[in-house]
Amino acid sequence: MPQRLVVVGGDAGGLTAATNARRLRPAADLQIVVFERGPWASFSACGEPYFVSGEIAEFDALLIRSPEEFAEQGISVHLRHEVTAIDTAAHRVTVRDLESSRESTVDYDMLVYATGARARHAPIEGRDLAGVHEMHLLADALAVRSVIESDPRPQRGVVVGGGYVGLEMAEALHVRGLHTTIVASRGGLLGGSIDPEMSEHLAERVRALGIQVDVGHRVERINGEGGRVISVDGEGRTILADLVILATGTEPRVELARAAGLRIGESGGVWVDDHQRTSAPDVYAAGDCAEVTDRITGRPLNLHLGTIANRQGRVAGLNIGGVDEVFPGVLGTAITKVHDLEVSRTGVTEAQARNAGIDVAVATFEATTMAGNWPASTSMRVRALADRATRQIIGAQIIGGPTAAKRIDTIAMAIWNSMTVDAMVNVDLSYAPPFSGAWDPVAVAARKLQAVLGGVG
């Protein structure tokens, strides 16, 4: 008799776990059953804003693999099936078929909890008006695109929320020709993810692209007329709008886990050990619903990033497959763009460092994306952080034109390896005028930090 792996949630975390377990254990040895409450599995949530903008033209391009393709691997994916209870003692889940509303139970030997995250509902009056959309699910993307392409086309868009999804949706509306305003709370654009000074710089550069940026005003009410949105009110100002996108953050789906008695971590995500095991026997968790450990501070975090979901899913799947694989924590590396303006970050911000008791050194400087004499070169701003005690690089943020932001990976690799800024200076990075200056901004970051820390620079 084969064992049975039940996967709760059919996206990055769960399906990556499933495919990795399958690589190591054939169907004769391990049955794999995936329950997904939504109508699609294995999709690119990160692509949704680009489907709205039309840059990703076809909806199918958001779908990565079909249930039929998983079936070929012996992975049985059940769409519109919601797991409503997990009995960790009996190793049994209750599943509801959302089409028929019938419930059944399924026994498992191992379970992967990968329910992901949902949009966080900010307490905003008027959120149910026509023309107001959340942005999280594929269905949201379809709905917004449909509105944008219907007559009369919306003219004025307001995006509530200055996070990654907010920025990307503001770009999407702007690409579509809407007069677009992004409203961010006091934290500013990407607040919390990048330092305030960088956030302000980002706001300036986004404004220069023709997108209105309204920072520091909480949206309190959405006003309607005849059931349709007409404007957004917040702390004394009113912005006209016929399309409103709510992108006020996401939160992990942990209710089912909590009801099943799984330990919930400080971060709000499902607690896991370094093998992605939860507190319940034979139950793993991966993806947006699961907690991760910050490699710099050692603190628990709950981040909603596809990269982390994939890597956690891989580790869970390999362990289920019998390989002793450890998930080594995260730096929270993230990247996005608004038109040609790129933004990225990795490691800790200044505030995160201080909160963790790190005596932090900060260097912020202007560089160019390519050699100074290269015509396509644009300005970029880099903020880099080091630990004064260890002289190690611990974080960086980049804002700039094309090719600026992917450099964050080079810095992430340095941080991952606990490099001192002194060691970083001499690393053999590539140079040619179309790509960077002779000292790449990554090396310059190390030199600038050396100068701050006391050293030759």
Give least dist CB 367 to its own copies, A: 14
299 contributes a contact to its own copies by CB under 8 A: no
Q: Which is it for strands 300-301 and 179-184: parallel, antiparallel or unpaired?
A: unpaired
Burial group, residue 457, by CB count within 10 angstroms (0-12, 13-18, 19+)? middle
Is 199 a binding residue for its own copies by CB under 8 A? The answer is no
Catalytic: 289?
Answer: no
Q: Extract the tokens encoding 346.
A: 């990795």
Stretch that binds its own copies, among 56-64, 109-117, 175-183, 204-212 (CB under 8 A): 56-64
Out of 341, 384, 419, 421, the residue judged to bind its own copies by CB under 8 A:
419
Query: Which amino acid is located at 266 in the chain?
Result: E
Find where tokens 């869970």 sit.
Answer: 316
Task: Pick the closest to residue 276 from 291, 261, 264 (CA basis).
Answer: 291
From candidates 414, 445, 449, 452, binder to its own copies by CB under 8 A: 414
Cα separation of 453 and 363, whole Å?
10
The rounded distance, in Å, linking the Cα atoms of 271 and 290 is 6
Interacting residues of 221 by C-beta distance below 8 A, sequence separation 6+: 124, 125, 126, 232, 233, 234
Say whether residue 365 binds its own copies (CB under 8 A). Answer: no
Residue 454 near its own copies by CB under 8 A = no
Distance in Å, CB of 184 to its own copies, minimum: 19
20 versus 181: smaller Cβ distance to its own copies: 20
Residues 248 and 122: beta-carbon distance below 8 Å: yes
Quick check: 12 binds its own copies (CB under 8 A)? yes
428 binding its own copies? (CB under 8 A): yes
Closest CB to its own copies among 42 and 212? 42
CB closer to its own copies, 342 vs 350: 342
Task: Please identify which of the residues 24, 46, 85, 423 carries the catalytic annotation.
Answer: 46
Among residues 180 and 319, whose Cβ is nearest to its own copies?
319
* 106 interacts with its own copies by CB under 8 A: no
CA-to-CA distance for 441 and 366, rounded, in angstroms? 9
Which residue in the set 204, 328, 379, 389 belongs to the binding site for its own copies (CB under 8 A)? 328
Among the listed residues 148, 308, 367, 399, the single contact to its own copies using CB under 8 A: 308
Nearest CB to its own copies, comparing residues 95 and 348? 348
Dihedral angle sign, alpha carbons of residues 246, 349, 338, 185: positive
Q: Quick check: helix, strand or coil at residue 178?
A: coil
Nearest distance in Å: CB 387, its own copies: 17
Q: Segment 14-33, which members bind its own copies (CB under 8 A)?
A: 20, 23-24
Stretch binding its own copies (CB under 8 A), from 75-83, 260-268, 351-359, 367-375: 367-375
> What does the block give as tokens for 114?
């990968």
Contact track, its own copies, 374-413, x by CB under 8 A: xx---------------------------x-xxxxxx-xx
Backbone angles phi, psi at 197, to 5 degrees: -60, -40
339, exposed or middle or buried, with CB in 10 Å at 0-12, 13-18, 19+?
A: middle
Residues marked active site are found at 46
